[in-house]
Amino acid sequence: MPFRLLAPLGLLCLLLPLHRGAPGPDGSAPDPAHYRERVKAMFYHAYDSYLENAFPYDELRPLTCDGHDTWGSFSLTLIDALDTLLILGNVSEFQRVVEVLQDNLDFDIDVNASVFETNIRVVGGLLSAHLLSKKAGVEVEAGWPCAGPLLSMAEEAARKLLPAFQTPTGMPYGTVNLLHGVNPGETPVTCTAGIGTFIVEFATLSSLTGDPVFEDVARVALMRLWESRSDIGLVGNHIDVLTGKWVAQDAGIGAGVDSYFEYLVKGAILLQDKKLMAMFLEYNKAIRNYTRFDDWYLWVQMYKGTVSMPVFQSLEAYWPGLQSLIGDIDNAMRTFLNYYTVWKQFGGLPEFYNIPQGYTVEKREGYPLRPELIESAMYLYRATGDPTLLELGRDAVESIEKISKVECGFATIKDLRDHKLDNRMESFFLAETVKYLYLLFDPTNFIHNNGSTFDAVITPYGECILGAGGYIFNTEAHPIDPAALHCCRRLKEEQWEVEDLMKEFYSLKQGKSRFQKTTMSSGPWKPPAGPGTFSSAENHDGVREKKPTKQRIPLLSCPSQPFTSKLALLGQVFLDSS
């Protein structure tokens, strides 16, 4: 039997039993139509508040009704919310935002940006919007989805990240300056997730542009982590990308590690890659052997397997959803129900929850409106139809509206014990939290397509099938159509030649002579100069003679932010004294 991995939203729900008529604990399930409209209203209250008070800054400060830059000055909330607009059915606003981004987005800025966050939010958001743009009624150019302004912007952003991968190990630095490359003095310590969370976006980018350099660097980083695992099969939390030595040796499934495991599974499904899935399954065995206790997952020492922190982190709540993607539904539901009890206790998930004590951890009592538990509920509901999962969605809507809704949007909950608020609305609230809530309550959304409908698109290389379902969400909930990766298989040099011919074809007058001129002008394909490498990054922009060659900043190397600041970037896996 040929190897086939389950598509996350399409095939999976076809192969697993559904129990949609089962009653909830109180005899009735929440009304999806009612909560769908509630979620839509939540989105527009937050989105309109951002536009009115914070744009063009990255994020909204809802308590003071203004904005601030957080991850690089990209108008980040606008990029993160773009595909959510289409999922909610707002085609006109999607089209308007695309024009705004085309006119205003600039990556040639002297800003130190998180490599991880820029990839998942900016590159992922632009790729998703690019692949959804035709569905949203955007007029696409000849050659789409192998070309287009949003794709070009995603490629430009990703190229700004490539200098971070210039290390002896191939594992990237955590921060890069978008204008100058890696700053002298930059810390070489990066969290595991910051190394292993690129294959979804970068493989998509390589497939669409024909440039292998993106997928190549992502695969090297994944493999270096795999080779760095301990003898008992675990990886730590932070590693020195210059030496390959572990700095933080806590092993678990949460902050600092989480999306590495997620991308092994999603990369395997997206690319139909047996090796990536085999890697995850090996990790999964070690995780179950050493970190799992009564359907909770603890933190352990990566070499010995001894418990280092008996805590549950809110970021770990993605795990049941990930388990559902490999068909492990029973274990996924048991763990989900454990996490749901914590939600019921506080009206949200605290960043850290001490499992033996059954209470929050000091200085980690907040809930920044994270999506992970809702994400798992959405996946599991698609697989099982269990109304308990709708009840989580209902509870999330009621809690968020009651606790965090303010005049200018929704505020981070600083402390779940007394419901004090913090002056921030993360962009992921519109990219992920609201999106997963809406999809939980919208069973007929196009994202849930099971292959019964699709679009046939003419590309430079023939007919391409898109929109058939099986979307892969990146870790910022930006959906990638896996079929798109098969639309642009030829090398970039050939694609440019075909695109030029198509544009020439459409620009000529009607008549037989037009076809003759087009076919006669085509010449033999030229072979590529060689595989994509760091040293030839300049050549990738210069292959097409008609494109102006941008001056490349020399790649810099070495250590700006202190180690403690890096730990705080994606969450902390141990308590400090501050």
pLDDT at 210 over 70: yes
Question: Catalytic site residue 117?
Answer: yes
Once rounded to an integer, what is the mean pLDDT over residues 529-548?
34
What was the pLDDT predicted at 28? 76
pLDDT at 49 over 70: yes
What was the pLDDT predicted at 553? 34
Higher pLDDT, 527 or 342: 342
Q: Which of 351, 375, 391, 432 is catalytic?
A: 351
In three-state form (DSSP H/G/I as H, E/B as E, the rest C), the secondary structure along 197-264 is CCHHHHHHHHHHHCCCHHHHHHHHHHHHHHHCCCCCCCCCCEEECCCCCEEECEECCCCCCHHHHHHH
Confidence category of residue 502, pLDDT binned at 50, 70, 90: low
Once rounded to an integer, what is the mean pLDDT over residues 247-266?
98
pLDDT at 340 over 80: yes
Q: Which of 258, 375, 391, 395 is catalytic?
A: 258
Higher pLDDT, 542 or 336: 336
What was the pLDDT predicted at 191? 98
What was the pLDDT predicted at 578? 36
Question: Catalytic site residue 108?
Answer: no
Report whether 519 belongs to an annotated binding site: no
Higher pLDDT, 28 or 287: 287
Q: How many CB atoms lie within 10 A of CB 139?
A: 8
Question: Catalytic site residue 415?
Answer: no
pLDDT at 548 over 60: no
Confidence category of residue 29, pLDDT binned at 50, 70, 90: confident
pLDDT at 264 over 90: yes
Domain residue limits, the chain: 29-56+315-442
The proportion of the chain whose per-residue pLDDT surpasses 70, expressed as a percent, equals 80
Higher pLDDT, 568 or 75: 75
How many Å apart are CA 361 and CA 354, to the nearest integer? Answer: 6
Q: Which of 372, 375, 386, 499 is catalytic?
A: 372
Q: Would you state the torsion angle of the CA atoms of residues 486, 267, 98, 36, taken in this order, to the nearest 10 degrees? A: 110
How many Å apart are CA 398 and CA 491, to the nearest integer? Answer: 51
Q: Which of 58, 80, 117, 481 is catalytic?
A: 117
Once rounded to an integer, what is the mean pLDDT over residues 32-46?
98
Question: Catalytic site residue 282?
Answer: no
What is the pTM assigned to this prediction?
Answer: 0.82
Task: Give the CB-side neighbour count of residue 220, counting CA atoms within 13 A.
Answer: 19
For the ranges 229-238, 426-435, 436-445, 480-489, the lowest mean pLDDT is seen at 480-489
